[in-house]
Amino acid sequence: MRRSASLQTLLFYGLSGPIIALNVGLLSILFNYFKHPITIVSVAAILAFLLNYPVKFFERARITRTQAVIIVLLVTLTLFVILGVTLVPIVIDQTIQLLNKIPDWLTASQTNLEQLEAFAQKRRLPLDLRVLSNQINASIQNIVQQLASGAVGVAGTLLSGLLNIVLVVVLAFYMLLYGDRVWLGLINLLPSHIGVPLTVSLQLNFQRFFLSQLLLGLFMVVTLTPIFIVMKAPFALLFAIVIGISELIPFIGATLGIGLVTILVMLQNGWLGVQVAIAAMIMQQIKDNLLAPKLLGDFIGLNPIWIFISILIGFEIAGLLGTLVAVPIAGTIKGTFDAIKTNKGGNFVSPFTISHDSPEDRIN
């Protein structure tokens, strides 16, 4: 009996690795094949998750769900139009100016490195920065070329982008209205002891995660913009938005955003780049230690190592979209398995609407 049990355990752990690798490869192939519809559905689902909170607020005021959804979507579209008219042109203008000024900054940084190397040679210090300078210049020039080509591509596909936005909004509208019915139909295919905790974990990880990340990113943009303006940092609004958007990528996004902005500012002024990095890191610590625990809590419960691994796997499968949804998906899987192990199914809560029925009524 012991040999049989140990053999089963060995087979289980021995085959689980290849099976997981095979499934990851299949997911990557499927995503590449259905990339556009999967992206549209995923973005629409995230938007529906976020808008479900204000929809619930209006429902408490005894407004029908259809009316609440229409009101929330109209308000959201109005805000997007306002941002598109006021903020987006400024960001585009600063981006174009940044791309035009980077060659001059590269020349200035090359001069600064040569002066530093000459200073070291006078004092007989073994400092050779030529290789580092060439590598930095080549890397940044490559980034500029990619950004420029990307900007041309975006400009050339503007009509397609607007069509995608319309599809996302329309799909999010129907998800808010009928998403619970679709989800209930899918959940009915699973046993109740799996479907119920899966639903609860999905709502907890996706809704709360994306709302929290959005608020934390907004905090970084709102606080860093005036700080950068006071410090007279170039392109203050653009750099603050870059750091805020990078906040959407958990665990490593903010660090990457701050590092990129610091390098760009240091090309123009080394000391100013250090000041920008210090200010951004201070606000990041305030965000991580004061705001994030209150917004996020420990609802994901993942070890940082697993978070990093899930982000890498998500990027490998679906690129940027994969990095955004990797952590909540991993948290949903972990929460579901934990609930199954402890035999705590929880109450059924639709990811898109408010559920007033008992778990037995909704599942059965």
Q: Given phi > 0 = left and psi -120 to 50 = alpha, else beta, which region is 357?
A: beta
177 burial type by CB count under 10 A (0-12 exposed, 13-18 middle, 19+ buried) = middle
The two counts, helices (H) then strands (E), for the chain are 13, 0
Q: How far apart are CA 181 and CA 48, in angstroms?
A: 14
User: Which residue carries 């998500």 as its tokens?
Assistant: 314
At 138 the pLDDT is 66
pLDDT given at position 357: 42
Q: What's the pLDDT score for residue 278?
A: 94
Q: Is residue 21 part of a domain?
A: no
Reported as a single tens digit per residue, the pLDDT across 263-313 is 888 877 888 889 999 999 999 888 888 887 776 655 556 677 777 888 888
Is 258 contained in some domain? yes
Mean pLDDT, consecutive 10-residue stretches, the chain (364 aa), reads 61 65 74 82 85 86 86 89 84 81 72 67 63 62 60 53 80 86 78 76 75 86 93 90 85 83 84 91 88 64 74 80 81 78 54 42 38
* Domain range for 227: 32-363
AA letter at 51? L
| Residue 25 covered by a domain | no
Residue 85 to residue 93: CA distance in whole angstroms: 13
CA 129 – CA 132 distance, rounded (Å): 5
- Is residue 302 assigned to a domain? yes
Task: Report the predicted TM-score, pTM, of the whole model to 2 decimal places.
Answer: 0.69
Using CA atoms, how far residue 132 sits from 139, 271, 301, in Å, is 11, 19, 40
Is 322 part of any domain?
yes
Dihedral of the alpha carbons of 128, 133, 139, 143, in degrees to the nearest 10: 160
Predicted local distance difference test score (pLDDT) of residue 168: 86
Is 341 part of a structural domain of the chain? yes
Indicate whether 300 belongs to any domain.
yes
Asked if residue 6 is part of any domain, the answer here is no
Contact 293, 130 (CB under 8 A): no
Please tell me what DSSP assigns to residue 126: -
The number of domains in the chain is: 1
